[in-house]
Structure 1
Amino acid sequence: MSDVILYSGNAFSVADGKGRFVLPLEMRKLVRQASGDENRLCLSVHMDNGCATGFGLSHKRFLFDEVAELERLAREANRPFNGDLERENRLGTIEDVNFDDGGRFFLHPDIKDEAGITDVAFFYGVGRYFQIWKPEALIESPDRPALIRNKVKRWLDARAAEGGK
């Protein structure tokens, strides 16, 4: 069996009265596994999609190793490559946060602002990491699968019908 942690599935989280979100149970288990059995969550912003990302500490190491490999390949091909800049882009925006045993955590304010998330977040497992979306932004993203966009739209419509609860 591989050591690679792969996130899948999706779930909504509505911020509690203190502004904390809840990491979905299955993702929480995987983050804990990927973080050496600690409740440590790494958060960042996706460089292309306009959402936040989340993962465990092992993926942070993967990102570092991936840049080292890109540096090696560039060196072998005698191609310019700015490894420091690439590490800044991949690692410099990561914020490590704790989550409690119930999965509650604070989404870092800078990341929350960049992703446009307010009181509702949609968690979407996409492999080595999961995405955290402002639901309306995901619906407006034509590159996301229609199945997911429609699911989010139905959830928002049902929430609005209930008075935004």
Structure 2
Amino acid sequence: MESFRGRFTNKIDAKGRVSVPAKFRAITVAQGFGGIVCFPSIQGAFVEGCGPAFSAVIDEMLDRLDPFSRERDLLASVLLGDSAELSFDSDGRIVLPEDLRAHANITDEATFVGMGRKFQIWEPRAYEAFRAEALEQARAHGDLLRSPLALGPGGGAR
């Protein structure tokens, strides 16, 4: 399966329209949707985005929780209730809703960041600050990445 990769910064016009990177559009179209799904991040001041494949994963994760639990309701209210299905126009743009722009402090530009099965949309300066910190901290977490080639039979280390 294709994954969202790369970093792209695009201008937002006065109507809130922004061009979604062509690579990202191709992935969601291949998944059967001519647009993207976006919702406010529960981890910070940025927007989470995905196609229908990852949206289904979110539904599955929520379905594993007690349907009457407060935790499920809290998560669902943000991940589903505050989500928006945003269709591409003929130029590959979407209208990023005002509430999502406000959540991420996005005004005149948006940075799209590939994260594999999903992507994020940031205010560019906020992303650069996050990226500098992430690069520093990622060095300390390199041991979390293990090559599947390094695993022996049954998934154990060789």
What residue is the counterpart of 2:108 in the other structure? 119
Distance 1:93 1:19, change over 3 A: closer
Q: Of 127, 151, 155, which aligns to 1:138?
A: 127
Q: Conserved in 2, the CA contact under 8 Å of 1:53 and 1:130?
A: yes
Task: List 4+ stretches of structure 1 deviating above 6 A.
Answer: none
Offset, 1:71: 4.4
Offset, 1:139: 2.1
Larger deviation, residues 22-31 vs 9-18: 9-18
What residue is the counterpart of 1:91 in the other structure? 80
Offset, 1:49: 2.6
Q: Conserved in 1, the CA contact under 8 Å of 2:40 and 2:79?
A: no
Q: What is the TM-score of this pair, normalised by structure 1?
A: 0.71
Offset, 1:116: 0.3
What residue is the counterpart of 2:64 in the other structure? 69
What residue is the counterpart of 1:54 in the other structure? 49
What residue is the counterpart of 2:37 in the other structure? 42
**Quick one: distance in 2 between partners of 1:19 and 1:95?**
14
1:20 correspondence with 2:17: yes
List per-residue Cα deviations over 1:78-119 (Å, max 9, x = no partner): xx8743333223222211111124211110110001100001
Distance 1:33 1:68, change over 3 A: same
**Quick one: distance in 2 between partners of 1:64 and 1:44?**
13
Count of residues in Structure 1 that have an aligned counterpart in Structure 2: 134
Percent of residue pairs identical: 27
Offset, 1:130: 0.6
What residue is the counterpart of 2:118 in the other structure? 129
Structure 1: gaps spanning 5 or more residues:
73-79, 147-165
Q: Conserved in 1, the CA contact under 8 Å of 2:48 and 2:120?
A: yes
Specify the code of the residue in structure 2 equivalent to 1:67: L
**Quick one: distance in 2 between partners of 1:137 and 1:61?**
29
Offset, 1:70: 4.5
Q: CA-atom RMSD, angstroms? A: 2.3
